[in-house]
Structure 1
Amino acid sequence: MQSAAYAVEARLLGDDRIPALHEDLDGLRGAGLAWLGAVDGDGRLAGALAWSEDGGVLDVERLVVAPALARRGVGTALVRALLDRAGERPAVVATGRDNAPARALYERLGFVRTGDREVAPGLWVTTYRHGS
């Protein structure tokens, strides 16, 4: 699912240099991330969110939704679940600057844009923060 979801983002960005797009199963398992999953009505994985925590700040490392279920609230539900888990702790996320659907999701949930940065020549991400 991660590869399929990041392939969609790569098309939106016009750039396939997204590290998670090329990650194999061993890399995924070895990433040391905590995960939340969402299942559909048939018990199949619909989406997943992975995060790390550093100094009390939760960093959304991955948000993937099965492409067939995109824009049906799966990603929103996963991010809300993480924010509930975070409580008073802040959360941060970075997404492709040209990924309008992801940016709209984070902004709708109260994330505030903190800037843009070029992570590779010509590849830009927008960073967000939620909470203090």
Structure 2
Amino acid sequence: MGGRLRDTRPVLITAISPTDESLGAELLALQKAAYAVEAAIIKDDRIPPLHESLAGLRAQPLRWLGAVDEDGRLAGAVAWEETDDEVDVNRLIVHPSALRRGIGRALVKEVLVRAGTRRVVVSTGRDNAPARRLYEGLGFVPAGETEVIPGLWIADYALVPS
């Protein structure tokens, strides 16, 4: 038997905020590391959150959940905006060393629980096959594509709970 063993150490999913002095820089570093992986996958580093400053991150009107590992480090996070009718997953970030552990899936599932009966939308790089598989595996359906910057395309997804 060969192959890599999947790391299944537990994480704690909890509310976080980039305005927390002890967490802001760690969250920004996580975001940059995660989007660097996506940039490599889609062969384009013009992803806006990849270049965001700490002040810019803190200025976003987003709700956040973090996945904290057993050592107290932030392994992943998800941020969203919500209205009475819709939840928009703005970003899902997982540290490169924590990929393929189910952290992204667990974070999105927690947002779905919080969304209740509201429609949930999310976007990812059009050529980001791992993210697309994740969203489709959770029941999201393609809802179009958008060119956000000339030559940089995202795939839009939606999930309407039944």
Q: Offset of 1:54 from its aligned partner? A: 3.2
Q: Is the 8 A contact 2:84 2:118 kept in 1?
A: no
Equivalent residue, structure 2, for 1:118: 147
Larger Rg: 2
Question: How far, CA to CA, are the matches of 1:19 and 1:54 in structure 2?
Answer: 23
2:110 counterpart letter in structure 1: A
Write the deviation string for residues 59-82 of structure 1: whole angstroms up to 9, x where unpaired: 000100011001110000000000
Aligned to 2:129: 100
2:86 pairs with 1:66: no
Paired with 1:125 and 1:97, the residues of 2 have a C-alpha distance of: 5
**Equivalent in the alignment of 2:80:** 51
Alpha-carbon distance, 1:16 to partner: 0.7
State the superposition RMSD in angstroms: 0.9
> What is residue 63 of structure 2 aligned with on the other side?
34
Structure 2 Cα separation of the partners of residues 3 and 49 of structure 1:
14
The percentage of aligned residue pairs carrying the same residue is: 61
Pairs aligned (count):
132
Q: TM-score, length-normalised on structure 1?
A: 0.97
Letter aligned with residue 86 of structure 1: A
Q: CA deviation at 1:110?
A: 0.3
**What TM-score do the two structures reach when normalised by structure 2?**
0.79
Q: For structure 1, list consecutive stretches of 5 or more residues without a partner in the other structure.
A: none
- Structure 1 CA distance, aligned partners of 2:125 and 2:100? 17
Report the secondary structure of 2:118's partner residue.
Answer: coil
Which one-letter code corresponds to 1:90 in the other structure? R
Could you list the per-position Cα deviations for residues 71-107 of structure 1 after superposition, in whole angstroms to 9, with x for gaps in the alignment? 1100000000000111111100010000000000000
- Partner Cα distance (2:135, 2:63) in 1: 20
